[in-house]
Amino acid sequence: MMIAYKAFDKDLSCTSCGNEYQYRLGVWNEEQEANCGRNGMHCAENPLDCLTYYPNWDQAVYYMVIAHGDIDEDAYDSRISCTKLRLVKRLDRGEFVAHSLKYLLDYPLRKNNSHVHMDRGQARQGFVIVRGLNPIAKGALGDILGFAKEIEGRPGIAEIGIRVVDGETILPDTWYDIQGKIRKAG
């Protein structure tokens, strides 16, 4: 059993390997076989990998799930396939960013997802995640800024942080660091 992440259409359906599945809340959703890329119920260890398959926040929902039963992986991002899957919690953008940062903290040596910006980044679709020695980010009102500050001189993440562009403490279109201090991009 393992915690993973899955994206769906808003009605909790999804197409996987050419098959349409309708998932249900509160029960174990089951499949006979789990061969990543061919069958089974797909999910990902890294929440950000869900954006590869469902990139549009306005058309999808994102869940923390439990993957159970026969579990298979194919080394294509952090995608896995399983024979049993249970939806645990629907994630809003802030929770999604928090879980994504936790993944970076737990697995700092794994290849970064393409949605992780190095050193500086600007929010798109409501959020941004930036990693580096002194990461900086900016966004529009309501955007979530996620930071993963690396350890100087060795691999690893020293600190993670989240800021919300609220228009009062964190201003729109202004560069901020992990501490919430205004910085110059350069």
Q: Is 53 helix (H, G, I), strand (E, B) or coil?
A: helix
169 pLDDT exceeds 70?
Answer: yes
Return the pLDDT at 35: 54
Spatial separation of the C-alpha atoms in residues 91 and 8, rounded to whole Å: 12
Spatial separation of the C-alpha atoms in residues 156 and 64, rounded to whole Å: 24
Strands in 116-122's sheet, in edge-to-edge order, are 116-122, 127-138, 144-150, 157-164
Spatial separation of the C-alpha atoms in residues 150 and 94, rounded to whole Å: 21
**Token couple for 124:** 């798109």
Task: Please report which helix (H) or strand (E) contains residue 22, including its range.
Answer: strand 19-22
Strand ranges inside 57-164, DSSP E? 60-73, 79-90, 116-122, 127-138, 144-150, 157-164
**Token couple for 5:** 């992440």
Return the pLDDT at 17: 52
119 pLDDT exceeds 60?
Answer: yes
The identity of residue 146, as a single letter, is G
pLDDT digits (tens, 9 = 90+) for 23-65: 888 888 776 555 555 557 889 999 999 999 899 999 999 999 9
Residues in a beta bridge with 121: 137
pLDDT digits (tens, 9 = 90+) for 80-111: 888 889 999 999 999 999 999 999 999 999 99
pLDDT band for position 157 (cuts 50, 70, 90)? very high
| 79-118: burial string, b at 16+ Cβ within 10 Å, e else | bbbbbbbbbeeebebebbbbbbbebbeeebeeeebebbbe
The identity of residue 167, as a single letter, is G
